[in-house]
Structure formats: structure tokens, C-alpha cells
Amino acid sequence: MRRIATFDTGHQSLELWQSALATEFRVAGAVHAFHHHRRFLTGLAWDLISASALLRPAGPPKSVLMLGLAGGTAFRTLRHLLPGCALTAIDIDPGIVALARKHMALDDLGIEVIIADAYRWLAANRRRFDVVIDDIYLAGRTDVFRPKAWDPRLVAHLRRAVAPGGLLAVNLVTGPGHRSMQSLTRRELRSVFPVLRSLRAPKAMNEVLVAGDDVSTGSALAGFTKQFADRADRRHWREIRVRRLAGVG
């Protein structure tokens, strides 16, 4: 894979890397989006985000809202697994969306894309979705960061967007410099939702938290394995681990 070009979208400096089969967007040295012409999974955070949407006890979602789209990596997997699901995404950066349309076949996924500040949009939103995924990170000089601190108003806006029986999933970067945010997010979600589960994978430097009135166990993912034709995809899918986190107190 080699670097093809560098773009300034107005919100971030992005490098385009390509090989014969794959395309990557890299921001601040990290892969920000990934598109492969033959495979879906990576062993990284996008696999966990996709899997989180499938833990709804009532069955696969009919609607999913993603806050933070980038190149649509996780939605590519969900479109493959759930061809009839209504996918909606909010992203503040029209530049990265345009690049994803040009280099990652974003328009093939049938996503309703809304260009807006996701948290401002959420404050005014009255729509409800079976699954809401918060994957908002911004790029700093040396690392990524969440642009908004947790507070009761933000949690209320997120919960209002979740339909009855639905799920809220939050992607978190882990490791040094991110542990306090990880702990705070766990505490905030446990204070509002009866059930909280964590999704991890061996190579992923992320944790996806899934909250709801109820959240299925990892066994709910097993039935989707056969939908991946590629052996590497099936291996990555089986590597996802789901565990329940203890409640407050």
C-alpha cells in the first residue's frame, strides 16, 4: 500500500493510501477508514461497531443511526449483513464524505447522509432508531479525542433517539490517555441503562459499549458468521468477545 495524496478537508488533514485491493484514509498516523474490494472485516474497531448493532434482543435492527461516518467502514459490513436496514449517518465533514464517495464507493451503501454537527443535530432530533452508534472522534496533533464531555443532557439526547427495545453503542479508544474517558463513559451509561456489555477483539485498541434495557450475549453474533465468504472475515468475526459489565454499585 502506498500514499496517493494528502487532503485538507477543513476539519482534518487526511492521507489517501491505496493498494490493488484496498483503500485507507489515515488521519494523524492512524487508519480512519478502510475499504477492501473482497473483504469486510479488519480485526479492529469497525468490526466491533458492526457487531454491536446485532445485539438487540428483539432481533436485527430495521434502522441504525451512526454519529460520525468518515468512510463508512462499519456501515459497509452492516449493509452486507442487513441489506434491508435503513442506515442514517451524521458527519460534520463534507470533505471526508466526498472523498469516501469518490474512493470508497460510499454511494453504493444506500446511506442517508446528513452533513451536520452530530451533537447539535441530536439535540433537535425527534426521530428514533433501533440502534444508535456514537463514534465521534476528532484528530488532534498526536492523538484522537472525543469532542464533547459526557453530561446528563447529552445522555438524554442519545437515549431519546433510541427506540423502545433498542440499543445505544459507544465506540471508545482505549490505552494510555484514554482510560479516564473509558471509565467515565462506563459509569454514565450504567447510571441510565439497566444492561451494559463490552465488545473487544484481540487486535483492536478500542472497546465498544452497548447499553439498553436488555442486550443480547455474544451468541447472537454466531448466526451471521456464515454470511462472510472470506476465511479471514470469519476468523475476525469469531474473535469478537462480548461480556457483561457489572451494574452501578
Q: Are strands 129-134 and 138-139 parallel, antiparallel or unpaired?
A: unpaired
Say which residue the cell 475476525 belongs to: 236
Q: Are strands 129-134 and 63-67 parallel, antiparallel or unpaired?
A: parallel
pLDDT digits (tens, 9 = 90+) for 169-213: 999 888 766 677 778 888 888 888 999 999 999 999 889 999 999
Other residues' Cβ atoms within 10 Å of the Cβ of residue 61: 24
Give the pTM.
0.91
Q: How confident is the model at residue 235 (pLDDT cuts 50, 70, 90)?
A: very high
Residue 144 has pLDDT above 70, yes or no: no
pLDDT at 194: 94
pLDDT at 224: 97
Kindly give, in sequence order, each residue whose CB lies less than 8 Å from that of residue 183, ignoring residues fewer than 6 positions away: none
Return the C-alpha cell found at 226.
456464515
Which tops the pLDDT comparison, 8 or 129? 129
| CATH superfamily of domain region 40-244 | Vaccinia Virus protein VP39 (3.40.50.150)
For the chain, the maximum distance between any two Cα atoms, rounded to a whole number of angstroms, is 52
Question: Would you list the domain boundaries of the chain?
Answer: 40-244
Residue 157 has pLDDT above 70, yes or no: yes
β-bridge partners, 67: 90, 134
Residue 141 has pLDDT above 80, yes or no: no
